[in-house]
Structure 1
Amino acid sequence: MISIIVPVYNAENHLRTCLDSLLRQTYTDIEVICVDDGSQDKSDSILAGYSCSDSRFKLLTQENSGISSARNRGIEEAQGEWIMFVDSDDWIDITTCEKVMDLAEEYNPDVVFWSYIREFENERSSPRFLMNENKLFDEGNIQSLHRRIVGPVGQELRNPALLHSWGTAWGKLYTKNAISEFRFTDTKVIGTAEDALFNIEVFTLIKRALYINQPFYHYRKSRDSFTGGYNKDLNERWINLYTIISDIITANNLPADFHKALDNRTALGMIGQGINECRSSRNPLGKIAAIKHIIMQDHYRIAVQNLPLKYFPPHWYFFFQAVKTGKASILYLLLLIMKYCRFI
């Protein structure tokens, strides 16, 4: 059985699309664990309707504690041998569970993962493929996948937009045994990278993983995501994140390229930091000053100075060249241009 965990918070506008995609799965041996994280809209009544009409839907409620807490609650309640995460504003193809389980039974992996489609309002973006074909990772190459989740090196830097795509909790099917001893860290501690940290920890024990080169998952991305949701503590929390990842690398005696990958993740973090500052209520000069303050911090300055720019396409080359030289005003302008052109 697959336990599908859906954390829910004020998701009434898109929740039915998500739940219908699970209700209609062609593979029926599932349970859907919906954790209502203190919603204040009509999410609770929508969830109650599904749980009343189909016994496979289980509704749990808790006071608002964040997505990590909701997912952890789901893990603790899961009865399936397999676990999948689906966010409440996203959805999956109705054949996802069937196709993934067929391959899981054939290859016996600890984790199966696949590509996805970014869904914008009234249109569909191109699918995001992580590789060009299906690929099995085993004892000979599983460490390369683990390192890729930490961060890109070499040619992998050609597409910085894929930084977070490898480490998502959604778009993956885990054996329950593979994740039984791990939990998601509160975003109040590490910012917005709870998925990546979870997978970096989980993959210290993963022996086999299978990638399926099909976009089964539909990730809803709002047009105004660039301008909403300023996080005033993001810089401090990401410093915590990088420290925790470094400790994992050291504790597990992982190779030197893991440290390089973390350095590159840190450098690429300037994209997210810049976007976050653009979301603030400051005027443009205030935003530029905030960006300047961040890029002058030692952990970013050192990581960016060691970042090889030769792999980047032109817009990212100029972006990180501006970071290296401390040109915050140019960074701010580039962020606005790249947002308009949808490079970010």
Structure 2
Amino acid sequence: MLPKISVVIPVYNVENYLHRCVDSVLNQSFQDFEIILIDDGSKDKSGKICDEYAQIDKRIRVIHKENARVSAARNDGIKSAKGKYISFIDSDDWIDPGMYQEMVNKAEELDLDFIMCDYKKRENNYEFKRTQPIRGGYYSKEDIKNELFQCLIMLEDVEYPPTNSNCVCLFNLLFLITNNLSYDEDIHYDEDTIFGSKVLYHTTKFYYLKNHYYYNYFYNQNSTTNTYSEKRWNSFLKINERLINFFGNSIEFDFSRQIKINMLYLTLSALGQIKYSKNDWKERSNMIEEIMEHPQVKGIFKDFKFPDVSWKMKVIILLIKYRMFRLYCLSVLR
């Protein structure tokens, strides 16, 4: 008999966290699932831990592969999944015991394309509850167009959209396959946002479990997530290009402003990462100049109304708009 949920967990060098993650799935009150552990070329004991789990629970399958990053691993999970629904969990995170029970109940009751809950950001003894600036409850296709298309790609205050984390979602697998929804495998950073925006664009039935904080996002200080690199910047540029290609010609809604705000967010993110990089002052200033002079960055400001941000942020945006990188470096770099 096929499982109700396929839980896809990409695994890469997480031997210190993997038990916590997998055990949180095994300890769910809802038990009709399979776990697909995708060992993405781990160099530590993670692959061995995956195999040990598969030996003690027949619901667990392991795929060992050469490292291709999380987007490719999640796509492997989509291709291998046998459940009616599919869930993605990052291997250093974990979920609360009642997450799948409530999500499946609601998804079955309303025949949903996907359902989303909230999350807690965790760091040692620190906990921050994160909810989205949209109403909770059921959304029809008409509701999505009227209420969510305006924040499908980016919020007006230069923040990510409600679907910025795919791990807080439970997707109908047939819905993903029918609409050819998968991850762009050459995008290795911020891959959740473009996938989530495409999912919500195609969705006809969606439910938001607002203030249900079932997912625990572990903030790892040693992560490379906030470290600048040329590869990361190139990934940002690809995201912008894909958004233009996918949403730029939509006849249902004009997403052009959101695409520009998204590119602004990515630019601010890259500049912030440079600020804290270990390169010397001259190297960082050269990186900043290169970003500000990029055609995609310049393209943000054509017929562009400033977003709803603080005056300090507006000053920074002005420096970017007029490419005053020297003044930016003097005011930001230390």
Alignment TM-score, normalising by the size of structure 1: 0.86
Q: Deviation of residue 149 (structure 1)?
A: 3.1
Match of 2:113 among 103, 110, 115: 110
Say whether the 8 Å CA contact 2:149–2:253 is kept in structure 1: no
Instruction: Mark the CA change 1:19 to 1:307 in structure 2 (over 3 Å): closer, same or farther.
Output: farther
Distance in 1, matches of 2:280 and 2:320, equals 21
Between the two proteins, the alignment pairs up a number of residues equal to 327
Q: Deviations over 1:262-311 (max 9, x none)?
A: 11111111122113323544202321221122122232123146554462
Q: Deviation of residue 77 (structure 1)?
A: 1.1
What residue ranges of structure 2 are gaps of 5+ in the alignment? none
What residue ranges of structure 1 are gaps of 5+ in the alignment? 338-344
Match of 2:184 in 1: 185
Q: Which amino acid aligns with 1:134?
A: G
Say whether the 8 Å CA contact 1:267–1:304 is kept in structure 2: no
Distance in 1, matches of 2:266 and 2:132, equals 20
Q: Which amino acid aligns with 1:123?
A: N
Q: Which amino acid aligns with 2:48?
A: S
Q: Deviation of residue 148 (structure 1)?
A: 2.1
Match of 2:173 among 153, 172, 176: 176
Distance in 1, matches of 2:332 and 2:118, equals 26
CA RMSD of aligned residues (A): 2.5
Q: Deviations over 1:233-265 (max 9, x none)?
A: 233332222122111114543422x11111111
Q: Which amino acid aligns with 1:287?
A: R
Match of 1:85 among 74, 84, 88: 88
Alignment TM-score, normalising by the size of structure 2: 0.88
Q: Deviation of residue 152 (structure 1)?
A: 2.1
Provide the identity percentage: 23
Correspondence 1:201-280 to 2 at 5 A: 201-213=198-210, 214-225=212-223, 229-250=227-248, 252-256=250-254, 258-278=255-275, 280=277
Instruction: Mark the CA change 1:226 to 1:80 in structure 2 (over 3 Å): closer, same or farther.
Output: closer
Match of 1:69 in 2: 72
Q: Deviations over 1:55-91 (max 9, x none)?
A: 2211111111111111111111111000010010111
Say whether the 8 Å CA contact 2:133–2:162 is kept in structure 1: no
Correspondence 1:1-344 to 2 at 5 A: 1-120=4-123, 122-131=124-133, 133-143=135-145, 144-153=147-156, 157=157, 160=158, 162-163=159-160, 166-180=163-177, 181-186=180-185, 189-213=186-210, 214-225=212-223, 229-250=227-248, 252-256=250-254, 258-278=255-275, 280-304=277-301, 306-309=303-306, 311-328=308-325, 331=328
Distance in 1, matches of 2:330 and 2:47, equals 42
The worse-fitting range, judged by mean Cα deviation, of 294-303 and 76-85 is 294-303
Say whether the 8 Å CA contact 1:3–1:83 is kept in structure 2: yes
Q: Deviation of residue 225 (structure 1)?
A: 4.6
What SS does the aligned partner of 2:318 have? helix
Say whether the 8 Å CA contact 1:2–1:29 is kept in structure 2: yes
Q: Which amino acid aligns with 1:10?
A: N
Instruction: Mark the CA change 1:223 to 1:236 in structure 2 (over 3 Å): closer, same or farther.
Output: closer
Say whether the 8 Å CA contact 1:14–1:88 is kept in structure 2: yes
Q: Deviation of residue 29 (structure 1)?
A: 0.6
